Amino acid sequence: MDKYDYIIAGAGCAGLSLLHYINQDSSLHQKSILVIDRNLKKSNDRTWCFWEEGSSDFESLLTTSWNAISIHHRDQNLYLPTAPYTYKMIEGLSFYESIISKAKLNHNIVWKEADILSIDDQAVYWEGGSATATFVFSSILHYNPVFKDAESIHQLNNMAKSHTVKPFLWQHFKGITVEYENEVFDPSTARWMDFNVDQQKATAFMYVLPISNKKALVEYTVFSKSILDKKEYDDPINSFLAVHYPNQSFTIQHEEYGAIPMTQNSFTTRQTSGYIPIGTIGGAVKASTGFAFKSIQEQTKKIAVALSKEEQPTAILKKTRHSFYDAVLLDILYQERMSGAEIFTRIFSKNQASTVFRFLSNTSSIFDDIKIMVTLPTRLFLLTAIRVLLRWK
Ligand SMILES: Cc1cc2nc3c(=O)[nH]c(=O)nc-3n(C[C@H](O)[C@H](O)[C@H](O)COP(=O)(O)OP(=O)(O)OC[C@H]3O[C@@H](n4cnc5c(N)ncnc54)[C@H](O)[C@@H]3O)c2cc1C
């Protein structure tokens, strides 16, 4: 077997982010690295949005950004400035290409396109080959969350219903980038959550991200136990566009689907000294919202720092009061005790976007937390908090 210092199994968001931070550290340039993915000819398969203060390593890759968001529920229309945060958009392909092209200049990095069959502590196996390393960083899920066929939908939905992974919801969505002939969008504001759509007996909203006054990514997003059939996302999107921009012609420039697991249960607790799960399977997805891009950056940067200091890298996240809040919110959504539309509208109607962003990115102060909590029904949240506390390990 070929032996490397590191194997990065899965060159998606987490794998390539890790490669980016390793590559930025000159003390790690001599490390031999195998990057392996079933598809290294990346496509624009997803669009990431995230908020941050100031700028990051990926500033030059941004498609666009906003300084205001809006929330809509029944007759409530909330327009909120995001300062000091900016809400930003990066297209998957620019992110992948930028990191891959820079990493290809480092001849200690070996690229392999293959379907990984299994991963052991310090070893990766694919058809016709295998390799070992001091550390294997894996973001390979044993199933494909981007649903392709009925069989996989069935499996995913069973997973959400199974007792072992409760509470478990999917954040699933279809997004299309539309370009109108006329100017119909306000590019200054990201329509973050418009709950005036079919709720699918769960929580659903339209997410409209204007890239210019003619072009926007329009995404129908649902938090529920079951993923919909692909075509079921089309009706809500089409009726939303017909109501908001009547008699206007547009072309569809891009489509994307996604299903992000919303759970506190880690997919893989089998981190060992030589196998480190990262990204979605490394617990980087925020259980109550599905946001992951920013926490993947934090997680992989931390790993690169540990490697540079020759310390044992880890992706295990400590249980904090924020993960407890997440568990409570998720439980309420899972048990259908209150709709997401009601929860998020209440929170945003009484708080600045910056307070909510801090709360959702685990950086809020206790004072911020109290401001959020008083907007929600005390009895329901207290009873759920007690229930969650009883199973909290
Ligand atoms: C469409 C979409 C939009 C999203 N938008 C946002 C957003 O706006 N903001 C946000 O914060 N989060 C978002 N997310 C959630 C999260 O940021 C992404 O899912 C992110 O890509 C997760 O990173 P990852 O590295 O764990 O997985 P991935 O990026 O999916 O990477 C996994 C890699 O493993 C490879 N692979 C899988 N199986 C095998 C195998 N058997 N052999 C070899 N290779 C394999 C895949 O080809 C892929 O390259 C979105 C997710 C999706 C799906």
116 Cβ neighbours under 8 A, 6+ residues apart? 9, 10, 36, 38, 124, 125, 126, 140
Where does the pLDDT of residue 266 fall: very low under 50, low under 70, confident under 90, or very high at 90 and above?
low
| Same structural domain, 155 and 258 | yes
Residue that is last in its domain, among 262, 281, 300: 262
CA quadruple 283, 286, 290, 293: dihedral sign: negative
Residue nearest to atom 30 of ligand 1 (CA): 12
pLDDT in tens, 77-134: 999 999 999 999 999 999 999 999 999 999 999 999 999 988 888 999 998 999 999 9
Number of folded domains that form the chain: 3
Mutate to test the pocket of ligand 1, among 37, 45, 111, 230 (most ligand atoms within 8 A of CB): 37
Distance between Cα 304 and ligand 1 center (Å): 20
User: What is the pLDDT at residue 227?
Assistant: 85
CA–CA dist 202, 382 (Å, integer): 22
Query: Which atom number of ligand 1 is nearest to the Cα of residue 114?
Result: 43
pTM of the model: 0.94
Name the residue among 227, 318, 317 with its Cα closest to residue 279: 317
pLDDT in tens, 134-149: 999 999 875 433 333 4
| Same structural domain, 134 and 167 | no
| Same structural domain, 213 and 354 | no
| Same structural domain, 220 and 205 | yes
Distance between Cα 11 and ligand 1 center (Å): 9
User: What is the pLDDT at residue 112?
Assistant: 97
User: Does ligand 1 lie within 6 Å of residue 10's CB atom?
Assistant: yes
Report helix, strand or coil for 214. Answer: coil
Residue 33 lies in a domain: yes
Q: Render the burial of 60-99: b for 16+ CB within 10 Å, e for the rest.
A: ebebbbbebbbbbbeeeebebebeebbbbbbbbeebbebb
Residue 281 in this model has a pLDDT that exceeds 50: yes
Residue nearest to atom 7 of ligand 1 (CA): 48
| Same structural domain, 254 and 179 | yes
CA–CA dist 257, 272 (Å, integer): 33
| Same structural domain, 218 and 114 | no
User: What is the pLDDT at residue 192?
Assistant: 98
pLDDT in tens, 302-330: 999 999 999 999 887 777 899 889 989 99
For the domain that residue 304 is a member of, what is the CATH number? Answer: 3.50.50.60
| Same structural domain, 102 and 205 | no
Residue-averaged pLDDT of the chain:
91
Domain range for 367 is: 321-391
| Same structural domain, 178 and 221 | yes
| Same structural domain, 168 and 225 | yes
Residue 382 lies in a domain: yes
* Average pLDDT of span 160-165: 56
| Same structural domain, 118 and 228 | no
**Secondary structure element (H or E) that encloses residue 350, with its range:** helix 340-350
Residue 79 lies in a domain: no
Residue 165 in this model has a pLDDT that exceeds 60: no
Residue 384 lies in a domain: yes
Residue 158 in this model has a pLDDT that exceeds 70: no
**Secondary structure element (H or E) that encloses residue 354, with its range:** helix 353-360
Residue 351 lies in a domain: yes
Mutate to test the pocket of ligand 1, among 16, 118, 140 (most ligand atoms within 8 A of CB): 140
Percentage, residues of the chain above pLDDT 70 = 92
Cα atoms in the Cβ-side hemisphere of radius 13 Å centred on 355: 17
User: What is the pLDDT at residue 373?
Assistant: 92
Query: Which atom number of ligand 1 is nearest to the Cα of residue 48?
Result: 8
| Same structural domain, 251 and 157 | yes
Residue nearest to atom 35 of ligand 1 (CA): 10
Name the residue among 101, 109, 138 with its Cα closest to residue 31: 109
| Same structural domain, 206 and 250 | yes
